């Protein structure tokens, strides 16, 4: 733990001397890189339908991908920017930012107090709510509190399971559920399909994307019990870019872009109530 803390301090100090940009060059911050070099490396999920899903050799597609494109274009003053996409699994997001592999991450990245010492978060750009998905024929789980003694997924790098099993402030329900490990939520859904899990519980947008792929196979309980503030992750200390991204997010809500993107990717999901206004910014301290 002490070694990680020291590494974070060194990384922050290095930023003060100049941020090494992916692909060459040196810039004081990511916002400057976008304006001057017209390029950026963005981390997204590649395995989450409707949020960030990569098919074949093309670019990833989904709500988070489109949000990233819109934010980057705002940062560039409306000019086109070359975006290199990097897969950013939940377990690797902090490391990818700290070592400069990516310039920003837009990947269902909930803003939490535990993550703030390692990451500078812009946003949130939208607020999701944790919910629960079960097999369509499940009759013994109708609400989140029914997960007591049930098998739920523990996706690597995700905090969602803690909302079920831990007490506040990190948790929510403090239930004795049985944890089944998985590398990501795609594997969680596979295990749910195979009968190795009773439920997958995480953000409703994530669940909606998977449920939409096989609507007769799964059902989302529509029993939300948390607020998950999706932020845009930046290297710790990049306050200038954070403030610029917050302005971009405000503009995208004001001009209707965010509403259009939510409708595009989630408008057909039954029972999913979509946000209609921009969430308050967290601040870039």
pLDDT in tens, 177-192: 999 999 999 999 999 9
Closest CA to 89 of 27, 142, 138, 47: 47
Domain that holds residue 156: 130-220
Q: 123 with 236, same domain?
A: yes
Backbone dihedral region of 119: left (phi > 0), alpha (psi from -120 to 50 degrees) or beta? beta
118, 21: one domain: yes
The verdict on 61 and 137 lying in the same domain is: no
Assess whether 16 and 65 both reside in one domain: yes
Same structural domain, 159 and 50: no
Q: Taking residues 207-211, what's their average pLDDT? A: 93
Residue 60's pLDDT is: 97
Residue 44, exposed/middle/buried by CB under 10 A (0-12, 13-18, 19+)?
Answer: buried
User: Strand (E) positions, 66-190?
Assistant: 82-87, 104-110, 119-128, 130-135, 151-155, 178-182
Average pLDDT over residues 144-163: 95
Residue 282 falls inside a structural domain? no
- The answer to whether 271 and 215 have CB atoms below 8 angstroms apart is no
Per-residue tokens: 76 = 């560039």
Mean pLDDT, all residues of the chain = 90
Q: Is the pLDDT of residue 6 over 60?
A: no
Name the residue among 12, 15, 21 with its Cα closest to residue 101: 21
In the chain, the percentage of residues whose pLDDT exceeds 70 is 91
- Domain containing residue 161: CATH number: 3.40.190.10
What does the alpha-carbon distance between residue 67 and residue 47 come to, in Å, rounded to a whole number? 17
Question: Residue 23 pLDDT more than 80?
Answer: no
Task: Evaluate if residue 277 carries a pLDDT over 60.
Answer: yes
Q: How far, rounded to the nearest angstrom, does the alpha carbon of residue 100 sit from its chain's CA centroid?
A: 18
Residues 148 and 99: their CA atoms lie apart, in Å, by 40
Q: Position of tokens 């523990």?
A: 154
Residue 143 domain-assigned (yes or no): yes
Between CA 93 and CA 220 the distance in angstroms is: 27
Rounded Cα distance between 249 and 281, Å, is: 9
Residues 172 and 241 in one domain: no
For residues 76 and 169, membership in a common domain is answered with: no
Assigned domain for 57 exists: yes
Does one domain contain both 181 and 118? no
For residue 270, the model assigns a pLDDT of 75
Cα separations in angstroms, 123 against 76, 114, 134, 190: 18, 16, 31, 32
pTM of the model: 0.85
Number of structural domains (the chain) is 2
Same domain, 157 and 208: yes
Is residue 278 one of the residues assigned to a domain?
no
Has residue 19 got a pLDDT over 60?
A: no
Q: What is the pLDDT of residue 5?
A: 39
- Do 196 and 122 belong together in one domain? no
């Amino acid at each position: 733990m002490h070694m990680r803390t020291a590494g974070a301090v060194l990384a922050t100090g290095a930023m003060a001397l100049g941020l090494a940009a992916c692909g060459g060059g040196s810039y004081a911050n990511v916002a400057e890189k976008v304006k001057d070099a017209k390029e950026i490396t963005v981390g997204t999920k590649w395995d989450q339908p409707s949020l960030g899903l990569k098919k074949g050799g093309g670019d990833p597609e989904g709500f988070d991908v489109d949000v990233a494109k819109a934010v980057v274009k705002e940062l560039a003053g409306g000019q086109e920017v070359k975006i290199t996409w990097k897969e950013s699994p939940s377990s690797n997001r902090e490391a990818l930012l700290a070592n400069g592999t990516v310039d920003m991450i837009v990947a269902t990245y909930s803003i939490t107090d535990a993550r703030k010492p390692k990451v500078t978060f812009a946003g949130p750009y939208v607020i999701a709510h944790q919910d629960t998905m079960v097999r369509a024929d499940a009759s013994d789980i109708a609400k989140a509190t029914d997960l007591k003694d049930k098998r739920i997924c523990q996706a690597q790098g995700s905090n969602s399971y803690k909302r079920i099993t831990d007490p506040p402030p990190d948790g929510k329900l403090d239930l004795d559920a049985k944890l089944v490990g998985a590398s990501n939520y795609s594997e969680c859904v596979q295990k749910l399909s195979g009968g190795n899990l009773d439920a997958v519980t995480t953000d409703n947008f994530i669940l909606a994307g998977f449920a939409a792929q096989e609507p007769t196979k799964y059902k989302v309980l529509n029993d939300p019990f948390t607020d998950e503030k999706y932020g845009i992750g930046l290297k710790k200390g990049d306050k200038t870019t954070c403030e610029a991204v917050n302005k971009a997010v405000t503009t995208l809500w004001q001009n209707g872009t965010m509403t259009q993107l939510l409708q595009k990717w989630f408008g057909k999901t039954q029972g999913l109530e979509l946000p209609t206004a921009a969430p308050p910014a967290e601040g870039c301290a």
